[in-house]
Structure 1
């Protein structure tokens, strides 16, 4: 029986990718967003309104749904979980975060959102898969403004190591977790993702400085890198995000200064095909770094 999969956060890069993969493979898909009019979905995909802090949107979104791809939003999550159970949902794949495994995750602004949702699901009767990606390759878009204007990239920890994962790899893994069968025709490793909590990374450890060198190569020009003090970084980052988030990020990068990041699960280990590299992502996104 072709059951319906609800994809929340369908305006996001990963959510859009999951919708596209499931639809292309012939699965019934319902794309959800708090602003459904802004969704761009393939023909044949239903777009619905869903806001976790508005329970009145739950029934229509969940009607006939057996699988859910869920973005981590703690507001209203307990009510949503109860509604999903009542609607007959059988499996939830959560886009969580590797930060939930960090120290004091409950009080860490990077981790607490995802952790609250994980706990709500753990207390339910739903079968769950918790995808815990580390940094996304697309985080580099935060440098686009400066690079596009030829300005130096100023970092307190330019040699912090991370293993960034391509969002399309996350979408591949999420679609596989939802369906339990390969959508790409490639053979799987034989490992079921149902009920697991894989820690996801890209296939290689790269410092920020090394990532910028890859971007420079893709753009065909140098990108100057300047080391700044933590206080200077706090001031700059504080213009765009809350102070607790700034502290959490800078602490994370300071701890990553001391050696290569560990490479965990990738599409290679989970799906039996090579993971997309940072260089591939850079080549796909050069336009974002050349705008005036």
Structure 2
């Protein structure tokens, strides 16, 4: 078993602040990807009073071998009260920026697009000044469903690429590399006022050249924001870590990404899709776009 290097050690959080966030989540019966996916930054984010909300879950219809979200349970029918409960959590936590993600719901005809829209509307109703980022699945290539989400005008549309094309069959067997790029491309075409974002994880056997190719592919579809982080094995039944990448390499990718024209590149061993996501508000001030209300 590969031993984690020093740069992957996480400081113990102050549990008083963490407990406050947990109390809100339990009181409103909400799921977070922080908990369901065993994120290493959960202590830091909860201590800072933030969380990434996981809707339509926690059971997922896909079984990606890197992910710790449960796929063995049968997904439940959509909960009509979930959008209001999520919005109330945003209000109580006084979030300036909220990230809403979901499990894959391939059992639904729209992949859950309508639930995303309801959550966006509920947050806007209770917290009109909170910026909204949605981290969506690929919707099985249902571009009408994608348009439904974008018509709700989230400030950020995030969809993770996860890995290099060569490793997709092993890492993301029910996904499709070209479909992911197509989703991001269409998002910019449908809603040019929305910032597009994607993330990749490293340490699964990819090469530096392959990572740079993914970055070039994402810029070719005009992706604005990129996150790069180290893959960590959630349990013995998940994919093993092939290599722990040194922080200097992440810095090199960050520089390369900025040279390619990404508006923002967040790259470090502990970076995750929603890590310090609120920084996008600063990006919006530097690179403003007119949002079209629909």
What TM-score, normalized by structure 2, do the two folds share?
A: 0.36
